Amino acid sequence: MEIKKTNIKLLVPNKRIECHKKELKTYEETKEMLRRLYIQTFRRPSTIFISIIQPLLWLIMFGALFKNAPIYLFENYKLDYTNFLNPGILIFTAFNSSINAGLTIIFDREFGFLNRLLISPISNKTCIVYASIIHTWTITIIQILGISTIANTANKPISFMNTIISLVIISTIIISISNISIYGAFILPGHIEFIGLTTLFLNLPTLFTSTALAPLSFMPKWLQLICCMNPLTYAIEIIRNINLDNNFSLTTYIINKSWISINGYNSIMVLLITNITSFILVRSIIKYKYDKN
């Protein structure tokens, strides 16, 4: 009996051997899922062109509608309405593109491909979210660059620091809205409910309760309150101030009313909190439904 016990002990390894580190494996899994999403996009290039044309139509139509309005649209600056509208269209493009980030996941659910991914030996199910966000960010940045080039949104050269600030602001909007979209893709029954929710209850109400189309001074008090609760407002106002003043700093007040004063730092803090909250929501639903270990 003693000989058998010692033989069994010799067969048991002293240390647990790990063939792959978890971080490296997550990176590889995310890369492969991202590759699949890029292949899908390259097979349907028309979607990119359509998403560029749609905000350009908004820009042309609204710009033409209010072109001759003899009003001061932005505090001390007398602006052409098109120049006022440009930053709002850019942020709304980021919003509109990101709100559809969950469509790929919801179609994978309906066609059964998501089940195959979930039963495959994926070490971290959150890599599905990582891949969707990175893919959405890349496509959206291409769209924004295309719109900026065509519409010539930059009337003057923008400093490197302000370019970085603009990129960070747009990225926070893309990531937070993509997270909310992915969360909806996991909890809604199907793509009909998903499209109905994003089109009817999110797109237009979010647009009209921000400063994309009109400044706060044009709105009644109750709508100003709602606008100040909308994260898109802070992103739009920062981009708008950067376009107007190349010497813009984050200490500048972008919203300055008798009842509220918000500077650039406060706005970035609001956007980061929204970002973190949205990511926690998505991670919690994946942990609860699909990744119990």
Q: What's the token pair of residue 257? A: 């009313």
What pTM was estimated for this model as a whole? Answer: 0.79
CA-wise closest residue to 202 among 187, 181, 227, 221: 181
pLDDT digits (tens, 9 = 90+) for 253-291: 888 777 778 887 888 888 888 888 888 887 777 776 665
- pLDDT tens for each residue of 112-149: 777 777 777 777 777 788 888 888 898 888 888 877 77
Distance of alpha carbon 27 from the chain centroid = 21
The pair phi, psi for residue 215, each rounded to 5°, is -75, 165
Q: How far apart are CA 182 and CA 11, in angstroms?
A: 47
Q: What is the pLDDT of residues 157-183, one digit of tens each?
A: 666 777 788 888 888 899 888 888 888
User: What confidence tens digit (pLDDT) does each residue in 192-213 have?
Assistant: 888 877 777 777 788 888 888 8
> By C-alpha distance, which of 136, 132, 182 is closest to 289?
182
